[in-house]
């Protein structure tokens, strides 16, 4: 049962062949068995989960069920959930219990989806390997010597290990897509503003975007029907007509034009990852699509642009963690200034401190024009490249990550090498575009490879269709890590 899709689970619930309580019990037992080794969950509250499941069963008995009522979900620990600890993977918030629900949590509750727990993540979503969490690194279910990717590594590992049928994640520079690729699942980063950021703890406000992570594109489409929607509490939320993201899933791919950026297939792409991506593109040709060569000339600048803009926004957003109002406070200090300094020194990890210092530097007098403003100009050029590309093609394809999952600890000593893990994903966030990653094979080390699909603004339904058609013809998305079947 734990390998069934969201639609299949919903059908069993609708037919009375199982209950939400029974389903949640199965997942909770699996979490209890596997999580000590994988460390994908920070918080699990069995009593709260089963109470929500009983409420879902009651709704169904009363004829008040929606499409996913009773189907459980895990949430990245960046989303505030009333009554649940919401740590953001940091010592700074280790004892913080959210007094309200994020918009994403509200939507899942309204749909009747019980919460299985809060998943582990890089501290304040800053990382590409899920090694910066105060609660310890997450292990990749395909190979526990490897990272699961980050920052949504806990959500990706939970879905890959079938500890949850689906999970929420957030994507600032690739943090849904990159861990989805490294863990062999499907993850969608929607158009910026399509999913409300209300109650989602901020890293870089102009880049952060919540989205679904699941085994398949069809599951992500069903979740998008829950997550997307206007929210007046978020000033960046987009007011758009309600969509059914499953509406195009069965559309044939004949006539589809796939753009292949020359910048994504050169030096830096590992040979084994490249072979899997090439094979996936060949499958798309067999399904009726045609490919065209395109160029994204400014994509090479995306990493340096991102690591000016994102830390600048982070330095502002994280100024609120000072030990005064909530969160960690240093136990010993002499005066107010000393309390600030000790609290932030003890409560924040090295990577977070590094980005705060970089961000403060680029925003400081004398450097703002030289770095921050120049990065904003380059950001517009990157977005313009995509606009030009979509005049030639319907979708852009390439690798999600330059390699398969790397070993735990392999890149921690070299932050720049770690940052390059997101070289194919960051430009999408800078432009605010939608993109998803789907599994397309394995590298020579037996670790998954992801294929990235990038669409024009608000093309989520079409992207999910393109991914779904590939998944109908292949079975990479159905595979389960060895020993966890």
pLDDT digits (tens, 9 = 90+) for 358-384: 999 999 988 999 999 999 999 999 999
Q: Which residues are catalytic?
A: 76, 151, 175
Average pLDDT over residues 110-134: 98
Express each pLDDT in 232-258 by its tens digit. Answer: 999 999 999 999 999 999 999 999 999
Q: What is the pTM of this model?
A: 0.97
Q: 237-243, long-range: CB within 8 Å, 24+ apart, which pairs?
A: 237/193, 237/196, 237/197, 237/198, 238/191, 238/193, 238/194, 240/194, 240/458, 243/460, 243/461
Average pLDDT over residues 87-95: 98
- Averaged confidence pLDDT in the chain: 97
Q: Other CB atoms closer than 10 Å to residue 442's CB: what's the count?
A: 18
CATH H-level, domain 1-485: superfamily: Amidase signature (AS) domain (3.90.1300.10)
Express each pLDDT in 267-284 by its tens digit. Answer: 899 999 999 999 999 999
State the pLDDT at residue 413: 87
Average pLDDT over residues 191-202: 98
Domain boundaries, the chain: 1-485
Average pLDDT over residues 472-481: 96
Express each pLDDT in 398-451 by its tens digit. Answer: 999 999 999 999 998 888 899 989 999 999 999 999 999 999 999 999 999 999
pLDDT band, very low/low/confident/very high, at 484 (cuts 50, 70, 90): confident
Residue 485: pLDDT over 80: no
């Amino acid at each position: 049962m734990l390998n069934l899709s969201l639609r299949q689970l919903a059908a069993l619930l609708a037919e009375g062949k199982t209950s939400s309580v029974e389903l949640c019990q199965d997942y909770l037992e699996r979490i209890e068995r596997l999580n000590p080794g994988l460390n994908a969950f920070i918080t699990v509250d069995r009593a709260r989960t089963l109470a929500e499941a009983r409420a879902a069963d009651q709704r169904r008995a009363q004829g008040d069920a929606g499409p996913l009522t009773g189907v459980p979900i895990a949430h990245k620990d960046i989303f505030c959930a009333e009554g649940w600890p919401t740590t953001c993977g940091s010592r700074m918030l280790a004892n913080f219990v959210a007094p309200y629900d994020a918009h994403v949590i509200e939507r899942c509750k309204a749909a009747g989806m019980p919460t299985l727990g809060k998943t582990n993540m890089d501290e304040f979503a800053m990382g590409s390997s899920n090694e910066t969490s105060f609660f310890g690194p997450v292990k990749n279910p395909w190979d526990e010597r490897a990272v699961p990717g980050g920052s949504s590594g806990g959500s990706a590992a939970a879905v890959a290990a079938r500890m949850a049928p689906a999970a929420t994640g957030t994507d600032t520079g690739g943090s849904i897509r990159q861990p989805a690729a490294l863990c062999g699942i499907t993850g969608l980063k929607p158009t910026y503003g399509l999913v409300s950021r209300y109650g989602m703890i901020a890293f870089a406000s102009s880049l952060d975007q919540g989205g679904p992570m699941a085994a398949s594109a069809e599951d992500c489409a069903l979740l998008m029907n829950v997550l997307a929607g206007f929210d007046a509490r978020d000033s960046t939320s987009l007011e758009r007509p309600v969509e059914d993201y499953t509406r195009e899933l069965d559309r044939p791919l004949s006539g589809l034009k796939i753009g292949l950026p020359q910048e994504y297939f050169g030096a830096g792409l590992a040979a084994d990852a490249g072979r899997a991506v090439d094979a996936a593109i060949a499958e798309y040709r067999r399904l009726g699509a045609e490919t065209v060569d395109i160029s994204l000339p400014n994509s090479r600048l995306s990493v340096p642009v991102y690591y000016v803009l994102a830390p600048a926004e982070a330095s502002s957003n994280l100024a609120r963690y000072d030990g005064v109002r909530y969160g960690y406070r240093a136990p010993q200090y002499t005066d107010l200034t000393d309390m600030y300094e000790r609290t932030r020194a003890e409560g924040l990890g090295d990577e977070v401190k590094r980005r705060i210092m970089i961000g403060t530097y680029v925003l400081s007098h004398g450097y703002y024009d030289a770095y921050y403003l120049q990065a904003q100009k380059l950001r517009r050029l990157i977005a313009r490249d995509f606009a030009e590309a979509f005049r030639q093609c319907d979708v852009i394809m390439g690798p999600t990550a330059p390699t398969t999952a790397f070993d735990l600890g392999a890149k921690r000593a070299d932050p720049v090498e770690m940052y390059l893990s997101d070289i194919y994903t960051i430009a999408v966030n800078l432009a605010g575009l939608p993109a998803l990653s789907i599994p397309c094979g394995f590298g020579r080390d037996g670790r998954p490879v992801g294929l990235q699909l990038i669409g024009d603004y608000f093309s989520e339904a079409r992207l999910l269709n393109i991914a779904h058609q590939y998944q109908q013809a292949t079975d990479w998305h159905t595979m389960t890590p060895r020993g966890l079947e």
